[in-house]
Amino acid sequence: MRVVVFDLETRLLAKHLSEDEAYGWVLLKAGEGGISACCVYDFTDNWLYMYDEKSIKALAAHLERADVVVGFRSESFDVPVVEGVLGRRLRLREHLDLYACIARANAALGLIGQRGDNTLDAVCRRNIGRGKTGSGAHAPDLYSERRFGELFDYCAQDVRLTKDLYLHVVEHGRIRNFTGSNLTLALPAQVSRGLNVRHKLPD
């Protein structure tokens, strides 16, 4: 089974697209902010692939070849951005958004956290002992300053976190929640079938 983990950065932020930030987010998720960097880790060959807006068709093909696509907040952001830039819907076989999975589990228990409780940084620090190395808000600056090495390195680090969080969830079936207790997550059976949890992202 082919499992991939992905994350992307945009060329612009919501505030660059509209003075109305809410509308700016609508435009951003419609692809109006473009894509500056996208990294895809593929468990099949234990390799990290890098794409940008000019290789959007190759990115889409890679995601659509996978049996499972894993992301963090990818249902509400990354996938819509790719679809907006691509100009069509992605045909994903199985899409696992870890953030959405956590949010649904908390909602089922009637738990409402504070802003920041369930960010990738916060969830990873509670569960795998490390967090993000920077902020996506700086990605457009790296792009405009042509600091592409730093840009792709930042995106790759987010993929590493998402991938290791995914492996943690597959292995344990739960996460340490913002309440301090364990939160059980329901994953589709095909998500973890045949996956070797010893895979590591190449250095």
Give the distance from CA 142 to its chain's centroid: 19
- 67: burial class by Cβ within 10 Å (0-12, 13-18, 19+)? middle
Residue 186 has pLDDT above 50, yes or no: yes
C-alpha distance from residue 185 to each of 20, 120, 124 (Å): 36, 16, 15
CATH of the domain at 136: 3.30.420.10
The pLDDT value given to residue 115:
82
At 198 the pLDDT is 47
Q: Each residue of 11-57: pLDDT tens digit?
A: 999 899 999 989 999 999 999 999 999 999 999 999 999 999 999 99
Domain assignment present for 107:
yes
Residue 203 in this model has a pLDDT that exceeds 70: no
The reply to whether 142 falls in a domain is yes
Determine, yes or no, domain membership for 9: yes
CB 27 within 8 A of CB 14: yes
| pLDDT given for residue 196 in this prediction | 56
How many domains is the chain built from? 1
Q: Supply the pLDDT for residue 17.
A: 93
What single DSSP character describes residue 53?
G
Q: Is residue 200 part of a domain?
A: no
Q: Are 21 and 42 in contact (CB under 8 A)?
A: no
Domain for residue 198, yes or no?
A: no
**pLDDT reported for residue 202:** 44
Sole residue written with tokens 């983990």: 5
Query: Considering the domain boundaries, does residue 193 fall inside one?
Result: no
Cβ within 8 Å of residue 5, ≥6 positions away: 40, 41, 69, 70, 71, 159, 162, 163, 166
Q: What is the pLDDT of residue 113?
A: 82
In this structure, is residue 121 part of a structural domain? yes
Which pLDDT belongs to residue 101? Answer: 95
For residue 110, tell me if it sits in a domain.
Answer: yes
126 alpha carbon, distance to own chain's centre: 18
pLDDT tens readout for residues 84-143: 999 999 999 999 999 999 999 999 999 988 888 999 999 999 999 999 987 777 899 999
pTM equals 0.91
Task: Provide the domain limits for residue 144.
Answer: 3-188
Residue 44 CB neighbours (<10 A): 13
d(CA 159, CA 154): 9
